[in-house]
Structure 1
Amino acid sequence: MDGTSAKKSTSFETLVIQSITNVNDLKAKLNHIIATGKDYEYNVSSCLKTLLLSSDQEIVLLSVQAVSELAKCEDKRKVYAQKEVIEPIIDILKKEINSDKTELLKQCCRALGNLCCNCDTSRKIILDYNGVSIIIKSLKQAIEKGGDFEDVKVYGTKMFQNFAIGGAQFSESIVQEGLIELLHKILVLELEKDDMNDDMVLTALFVLSIINDNNPEYLFEEYVNKAVLDVLRETTNVEISELCLEHLHVQAEHDSVKTLLAKESGLQLVCTRLEQLVQKHDAGDLNADDYEVVAILKQACDLIIIVLTGDEAMHILYNNGVGEVYLTMVKWLESSNYDLLTTAVLAIGNFARQDDYCRQMMEDKIYDKLLDLFEVYNGFSQKMQKEPESVHPIDSVTVTKIQRAVLSALRNLSVPVANKRVVAAQGRAAPILLDALPHVEDHHVAYKLLAAIRMLVDGQESVARQVAARRAALAAAARWAGAGAGAAAAAEAPRLLAWAARQLRRPPPALLQVDGCVASLVNMLVAPHSVMQNEAILALTLLAIESLKKTTPQTEEPSDFDCERSFITQLIKSEIGKHVSVLIETNCAKMPVEVAENLLAFLDITSKKNEIGLDYKEAKVHESLQKFMDSRKDLNEDLQSCIAALVVTISDNGKSD
């Protein structure tokens, strides 16, 4: 049928309907349209616009129902997305509702919901006509009356689901008009029943989810979030559980919700549900599809971790080391389920933000458990690297995730000085971590590993000596320091070298001779943070003092000369002069005085060696120093004198006597 014929047929169909004078025949025609639904091929919107205004309530009901069925089709929905269709339906909802109108009200909500499905035109008509307020008022009456109005409640809420999904403009309007209060009331009423209406609960939760999606920053009132938690506590429905977890996960970005979940035993509930879910899944007792189980596992595990990032929540859940959630996490460290294991390790890392908790966990051998885990999963990682084509019992993504989590927790547990001493005295951790470093390929794991080792080095000369004595580990640190791809590892690696150098009374030759170590420290001079710049300066100064110390022919040993030659060669190769010039030029106004003092001490030691002094001169370090002195009014006389002397020393370098 061509377009012209279709138009004529539609016009003819309209005329047929308009010519019907017998009410029963008209009702039969409307019932035919309803039964045919989205497959009804004619556009009879002009007829339905008129019939929606009929004084015959049964005709009105059938007309609304016809709109509802026709609007299921996307193309037809656009045809009926008109003010003349939508506004009369809203007007019906304006009236006081009573029990003999439940079917009409239900069909009105259905029609509006279908018209709003993926259709901003309908949504805007409703918005402009103050429809949100009217429909909410009608929904509120249906909730209050209950009983026969259950369907009105369900379809009214579903209408807002389709309405709100259009975006922030629409979801904000339903929030402003008070729909959240009604959604809370719906959830509370369902919780009071012996058997919740899952469809009703799902719809209410969907609307809350859409509000979350459209405005992730929005914080629901505490009683709303508590109601969602209570639904999670009561339901056995997988889809409802997932929506509850999703809602609480988004809301838990707010510290007050983290605390609520901790106080209301929310995380204990999640932990219990997780264990039950894993047991049922392993036993094959779940009807849900695998992807649904995986989604719930992920949501629940993520929720545990995000709640633990809240300080107050973390303290409540730790509860002096006897908190139910904390003890569950310790138990999960031995779980064979990778999701539970990863969650446990990440949780321990969060509990380890508090020094006294760290000390208690060290006494309870948690550090040792984590070190055991690192050995196992580092072993998996190395085996995968050696046998990339083989089938392994675990995937590389999971191995990497667990390694990162374990190393982060080990690092946090190593922060208290007392714990550093315990680990250093035990002597087990440093060799394991250092031996792993040369084999790490993932830059995220490298970053965490370097940070864990650096924390062990702090204040522990014995650990620093182990670092400096392992050439493979030093070479790996130097390699990561020069790796552009992993910014975090590239920043962490030179810090480890700097901290090791600062702990050693006399740096072993390896720290000076392994290619890239000195260059890493030199590059760190132009790091964006003054703390890192200062660390690099102090480390280079200590290396310079040890390597360039004055010796007499009687006391000089071959190794002394080798260290000096190696250090000078590496400084020149690393373009020390250019780096110092950049450091001074880019930090003239903001360089802290203590950093300047340390830099001047380094320059004073090194500029006296001709090769280094010439490099400084070629890089115009003396000119940079002069600019620095001229631009700073906060330098005391001693510093100014020191700078002036250095300017002369560098500028005179290479001149004949």
Structure 2
Amino acid sequence: MTEISQNDVNQIKQLEDLVKQLASNVSNLLLYLPNLISGLESCKHILIDDYSTFDEQTKAYAWAQVVKIVELLANAAKIDKLRDPLGLSGAFELIVTFMNVNANVNYPNVDYQCLRALANFCITHDRNRQQFIDTGGINVALNCLKQQKDLETIRASSATLLNAGLNYDNVNVGIVDKDGLNTLAEILDPEGVLKKYENDIEVARTCVYFATRVIINLIGTAEGKKEIGNTKVITSLVHLLKYASREGAVDDDVDMLENVVEILETVSLESDDVQQILVRNNLFPILLDFLEFSNPPLNCEQRIIKSYGECKAAVLKVIVSATMSDSNMDPLFNDATLLNRFLHWLNLSTDRDDLQMCSALSLGNLARTDKHCIQLVHEFKIGEPLADVLKTSSNIKVQHAIISVLKNISLPVENKAIIGSLGIIGMSSPLLEKDTVQPVQLGVIGILKHLSSHNLSNSVKIIMGENPADTETPTPLNRLLSIIKRSDEIPVRSEGTRVLVNLVKKLWSEHPYKEQEGISMKLLRQKLNKVEIIEPLVNMVIESKYPILQNEGIIALTLLSMDDSAKEINPSLDFLTSEKVGASDKYPDEIRSNGCMFLEKASKAACGPQKRYLREKVPPVIKPLFTNEHKPISDRLKSDIDKVLKNLD
């Protein structure tokens, strides 16, 4: 051994008493920090720079001193004011170097104490975190996770990555770039750490808990969200959910469960890749089992019971999001076991609102094609359980979910008669009175719109109610007119008015002397040719920005204006030719031109009493527009008015 080499050994030995002294009072460490770093440099020289010069006993001695000195630095780093000088001392480079060498040597406690030091250096210290990156700290921490030498080192590796990446995304992006998600997935998989170290389950559970917290940091970055759409990671997470909620789980398992659910909820709602993995890799049933069967640990705290409820609500969202994926729609729909399970959930008592809501939302998502809607109604008989839940549930979230799927399955022509026969029109229309829940109102209006389109029986039920003899209960039509009148929401008013259009179009497509369930077409038409119906139709023509809605309103008004049953007094004509419409100065020329278009169409189609009525009523209303000096009209409106007058000649 050379004299220089012996000096390294002597220098380390001289530090032994100092290290023992500082171990009991690390607050004085700053005074001796250069000596400690110099001692680590000597250890580095013995172990790396001139490795072959020393015998095994001397090398073992050097490793032992590395462990003691680094442990001292790790303890000192718990003190806020010491982290800055520790980061500037050169300790980062030395610690990472020792870990890289020990990857092949595997000297006891080296990795554990080095990781402790790195983790504590990084506590709320961004400059040290950047040094952690620059010196290769991410690499050595991930390598320790991959090797899984012992449980303490696994825990320390996870804790180091967690501390370094907390509120510092440079570290998190670095972990993602170095395939850290797949490495962490090995830790999450219950068949790994949790099963391997069952005899030390508390530490094993902590390792996994830290790993899940690291992943939460990673998905806070765009890179992490992109890369987590990975079969291995998602599979490990779902299996961990199953483990953490197993029968016999304890309170501490819930901490892992909360993290897993947070990750799955965050990534599945935004990633089609994740949604596909859940279905394609047979993970979906595990989520369903958790929602249906899992329970909090026995005799647990109220906090944990509440947390379980929140976890189930989050998993419900994950399930529903998976059914929203276009790629998953056919595979899920073709799974008869799954569909029957959803139908079973619908039939459960109302104390399982979560299952009923999940079932309805999922089925609504799967019913996005006519083919699926028709199969659900005709083969799976989904209408009956939906009607039963709508009839019995008072939970507004469940009602919203049920209304949503009913709206979807009411669209195909083949389904309209069946859905209408179940009493859905009468059961759903009272929900129009709940002004605080606009999505439910729009859903009910959607059901009425779909069911009334091209279906006379459903149209009659909307006009007269499910039981025409019941004169005390407001009819669906009355409830619809009420919400159209009082609502300030344009979608509610316009979609509600489209139901009126459907009713008019259907009734006026039937023979005027026909009867439907003992009710004459004449009576039904009279129920519609009223100012309460006409006014919202006119407003849609006037207020809508969309030509298709304006055109629908004009068609309905034209049919009403031609109604033979009105004889000499026609409510629609009387309203349309009054000062409320067309001539009023509050409407811009473009809107008044739309009114002229209607009057032109009406005059072309009119004959007999209607023609005489129009000739009498229209000219006195629109001619004064030519001579209004306060508000001159455009040339275009003049032309439109001329067309109307010529058609009345």
Indicate whether the TM-score tops 0.5: yes
SS at match of 1:166: coil
Deviation string, structure 1 residues 132-177 (Cα, Å, up to 9, x no partner):
4xx4245425633x44x43223212221122233244332222112
Deviation string, structure 1 residues 8-52 (Cα, Å, up to 9, x no partner):
xxxxxxxxxxxx996343122221135xxxxx4x6x446335413
Q: Is the 8 A contact 2:377 2:409 kept in 1?
A: yes
Are 1:243 and 2:254 an aligned pair? no
Q: Is the 8 A contact 1:251 1:257 kept in 2?
A: yes
SS at match of 1:572: coil
Corresponding residue number in structure 1 for 2:358: 343
Deviation string, structure 1 residues 440-496 (Cα, Å, up to 9, x no partner):
542222111111111111111332344345776445434544666645434422222
Corresponding residue number in structure 1 for 2:515: none
For the aligned residues, what is the CA RMSD? Answer: 4.0
Give the Cα–Cα distance (whole angstroms) in 2 for the partners of residues 621 and 478 of structure 1: 34
Corresponding residue number in structure 1 for 2:50: none
Greater Cα offset, 410-419 or 240-249 = 240-249
- The one-letter code sitting in structure 2 at the alignment partner of 1:159 is T
Equivalent residue for 2:400, pick from 388, 404, 427: 404
Are 1:199 and 2:202 an aligned pair? no
Given the two structures, how large is their TM-score scaled by the length of structure 2? 0.75
Q: Is the 8 A contact 1:82 1:125 kept in 2?
A: no
Measured after TM superposition, the shift of residue 293 of structure 1 is 0.6
Corresponding residue number in structure 2 for 1:51: 36
SS at match of 2:103: coil
Measured after TM superposition, the shift of residue 125 of structure 1 is 2.6
Are 1:370 and 2:366 an aligned pair? no
Aligned residues: 564
Measured after TM superposition, the shift of residue 306 of structure 1 is 0.8
Correspondence list, 1:451-462, <5 A: 451-462=446-457
Deviation string, structure 1 residues 252-293 (Cα, Å, up to 9, x no partner):
333333232223321211222222224x67x86799712221
Corresponding residue number in structure 2 for 1:177: 178
Q: Gaps (5+ residues) in structure 2?
A: 1-11, 44-61, 247-252, 466-473, 509-521, 606-613
SS at match of 2:70: helix
Corresponding residue number in structure 2 for 1:277: 294
Equivalent residue for 1:434, pick from 429, 436, 441: 429
SS at match of 2:167: coil
Correspondence list, 1:186-335, <5 A: 186-187=187-188, 189-190=192-193, 193=196, 195=198, 197-215=204-222, 216-235=225-244, 236=246, 237-252=253-268, 253-278=270-295, 289-319=304-334, 322-323=336-337, 325-333=338-346, 334-335=348-349
Deviation string, structure 1 residues 367-417 (Cα, Å, up to 9, x no partner):
12212222223xx4xxxxxxxxxxxxxxxxxx2211111110111111111
Equivalent residue for 1:359, pick from 374, 388, 391: 374
Are 1:467 and 2:462 an aligned pair? yes
Give the Cα–Cα distance (whole angstroms) in 1 for the partners of residues 154 and 490 of structure 2: 54
Are 1:502 and 2:505 an aligned pair? yes
Q: Is the 8 A contact 2:578 2:621 kept in 1?
A: no
SS at match of 1:220: coil
Question: Measured at CA, do residues 319 and 484 of structure 1 come closer, stay the same or move farther in structure 2, by a change above 3 Å?
Answer: same
Give the Cα–Cα distance (whole angstroms) in 1 for the partners of residues 440 and 14 of structure 2: 80
Question: Measured at CA, do residues 575 and 206 of structure 1 come closer, stay the same or move farther in structure 2, by a change above 3 Å?
Answer: farther
Corresponding residue number in structure 1 for 2:608: none
Give the Cα–Cα distance (whole angstroms) in 1 for the partners of residues 549 and 642 of structure 2: 29
Question: Measured at CA, do residues 136 and 287 of structure 1 come closer, stay the same or move farther in structure 2, by a change above 3 Å?
Answer: farther
Correspondence list, 1:490-529, <5 A: 490-505=493-508, 508-513=525-530, 515=532, 518-519=535-536, 521-523=538-540, 525-529=542-546
Given the two structures, how large is their TM-score scaled by the length of structure 1? 0.74
Question: Measured at CA, do residues 650 and 445 of structure 1 come closer, stay the same or move farther in structure 2, by a change above 3 Å?
Answer: same
Corresponding residue number in structure 1 for 2:22: 30
Measured after TM superposition, the shift of residue 616 of structure 1 is 7.1
Corresponding residue number in structure 1 for 2:419: 423
Question: Measured at CA, do residues 158 and 486 of structure 1 come closer, stay the same or move farther in structure 2, by a change above 3 Å?
Answer: farther
Deviation string, structure 1 residues 48-78 (Cα, Å, up to 9, x no partner):
3541341355554344333433433555545
Q: Is the 8 A contact 1:362 1:413 kept in 2?
A: yes
Q: Is the 8 A contact 2:463 2:475 kept in 1?
A: no
Corresponding residue number in structure 1 for 2:441: 446
Deviation string, structure 1 residues 581-605 (Cα, Å, up to 9, x no partner):
15979xxxxxxxxx99989636977
Measured after TM superposition, the shift of residue 650 of structure 1 is 6.1
Q: Is the 8 A contact 2:459 2:506 kept in 1?
A: yes
Are 1:648 and 2:642 an aligned pair? yes
Q: Percent identity?
A: 19
Equivalent residue for 1:111, pick from 103, 110, 117: 117
Question: Measured at CA, do residues 498 and 87 of structure 1 come closer, stay the same or move farther in structure 2, by a change above 3 Å?
Answer: farther
Q: Gaps (5+ residues) in structure 1?
A: 1-19, 35-39, 381-398, 550-554, 586-594, 627-643
Question: Measured at CA, do residues 97 and 360 of structure 1 come closer, stay the same or move farther in structure 2, by a change above 3 Å?
Answer: closer
Equivalent residue for 1:613, pick from 622, 628, 638: 622
Question: Measured at CA, do residues 582 and 514 of structure 1 come closer, stay the same or move farther in structure 2, by a change above 3 Å?
Answer: closer
SS at match of 1:72: coil
Give the Cα–Cα distance (whole angstroms) in 1 for the partners of residues 481 and 407 of structure 2: 20
- The one-letter code sitting in structure 2 at the alignment partner of 1:301 is L
